[in-house]
Amino acid sequence: MSSGRGKVWLVGAGPGDPGLLTLKGARAIEQCDAIVYDYLASRAIVDRAPGDAEKIFVGKRAGAQRLTQDEITALVIGLARAGKRVVRLKGGDVFVFARGGEEAQALRAADIPFEIVPGISSALAAPAYAGIPITHRDHNATFSVSTGHLDPRAGPTGIDYAKLANPKSTTIFLMAMSNLAGIVGELRKHGLPPATPVAIVRDGTKPTQETLVATLETIVAEVERTQFAAPAVVVIGDVVRERESGRWFDRAPLFGKRVLITRPLAQADAFAQAVWEAGAEPIVAPTVAYGPPDDVRAAAAAVAHVRDYDWVVFTSRNAVDAFFDLLAASGKDARALGDAKVAAIGPKTALALAQHGIRVDFIPDVHVNEAVAEGLAGRTSVGDRLLLFRAQEARDVLPQRLRDAGRLVDVVAGYKTHLVEDPNLAETADPAEIVTFTSASTVRGFVHNVPDAPAFLARKTVAAIGPITAAAARACGIRVDVVPDEFTVEGLLRALEAGVTA
Reported as a single tens digit per residue, the pLDDT across 89-108 is 999 999 999 899 999 999 99
d(CA 400, CA 217): 75
Burial class of residue 201, CB neighbours in 10 A (0-12, 13-18, 19+): buried
Nearest to 15 by CA among 227, 172, 139: 172
The yes-or-no answer to whether 7-120 and 292-418 have a common fold is: no
> Rounded distance, CA 24 to CA 51, Å?
19
Instruction: Give phi and psi for 168, each to the nearest 5.
Output: -100, 15
Fold of 124-251: 3.30.950
Q: Give start and end residues of each alpha helix (H) in 305-367.
A: 317-329, 347-354
Integer-rounded Cα Rg, in Å, for the chain is 28
CA gap 494, 499 in Å, rounded = 8
Helix (H, G, I), strand (E, B) or coil at 439: coil
Active site residues: 38, 60, 175
Look at residue 152 in the predicted model and tell me its pLDDT: 87
Higher pLDDT, 269 or 448: 448
Q: 387 by DSSP, 3-state: which?
A: strand
In this predicted model, what pLDDT tens digit does every residue of 404-459 receive, in sequence order?
A: 999 999 999 999 999 999 999 999 999 999 999 999 999 999 999 998 999 999 99
DSSP type of residue 140: B
pLDDT tens digits, one per residue of 105-121? 999 999 999 999 999 99
Whether residue 370 has pLDDT greater than 90:
no
- Predicted local confidence at residue 289, as pLDDT: 93
Amino acid 156: pLDDT: 80
The residues spanned by each domain of the chain are 7-120, 124-251, 258-287+420-498, 292-418
Task: Tell me if the bond preceding 231 is cis, omega within 30° of 0.
Answer: yes
DSSP 8-state assignment for residue 66: S
Q: What are phi and psi of 309, to 5 degrees?
A: -100, 150
Q: Which residue type does 441 have?
A: S
**10 SS3 class:** strand
- Predicted pLDDT of residue 2: 47
CATH of domain 7-120: 3.40.1010.10
Element (H, E) at 69: helix 69-81
Q: At what angle do helices 467-475 and 440-449 cross, to 10 degrees?
A: 30
Specify the pLDDT at position 1. 43
Partners of residue 410 on adjacent β-strands: 387
Q: What is the pLDDT of residues 307-358, one digit of tens each?
A: 999 999 998 899 999 999 999 999 999 999 999 999 998 888 999 999 999 9
Which pLDDT does position 501 carry in this prediction?
58
**Contact present, 463 and 497 (Cβ < 8 Å):** no
- CA neighbor of 132 nearest in space, from 249, 272, 292, 14: 249
Model confidence over 12-69: pLDDT tens digits?
Answer: 999 999 999 999 999 999 999 999 998 878 888 999 999 999 999 998 655 556 789 9
Answer whether residue 84 shows pLDDT above 90. Answer: yes
User: For domain 258-287+420-498, which CATH number applies: 3.40.50.10090, 2.40.70.10, 2.40.110.10, 3.10.50.40?
Assistant: 3.40.50.10090
| Mean pLDDT across the chain | 93
Eight-state DSSP code of residue 143:
E
Cα(304)–Cα(336) distance, integer angstroms: 8
- Global pTM reads 0.81
- Per the document, the length of the chain is 502
Pinpoint the alpha helices (H) of 180-314.
Answer: 180-189, 219-226, 243-246, 265-277, 296-304
Distances (CA, A) of 415 to 390, 418, 439: 7, 10, 15
314 SS3 class: strand
Residues β-bridged to residue 259: 282, 434
What residues contact 455, with CB distance under 8 A and at least 6 apart? none
Q: Containing H/E element for 391?
A: strand 385-391
Bridge partners, 94 (sequence order): none
CATH class of 292-418: alpha beta
Percent of the residues in the chain that have a pLDDT greater than 90, as a whole number = 83
Rounded to the nearest 10 degrees, how much is the dihedral formed by the CA atoms of 298, 300, 305, 311? 80
- Burial class from Cβ neighbours inside 10 Å (0-12, 13-18, 19+) for residue 22 reads middle
Instruction: For residue range 136-184, list pLDDT tens digits in order.
Output: 999 999 999 999 998 888 788 889 999 999 999 999 999 999 999 999 9
Cβ(217)–Cβ(194) below 8 Å: yes
Query: What 3 state SS string does 97-122 have?
Result: CCCHHHHHHHHHHCCCCEEEECCCCH
Q: How many CB atoms lie within 10 A of CB 494?
A: 17
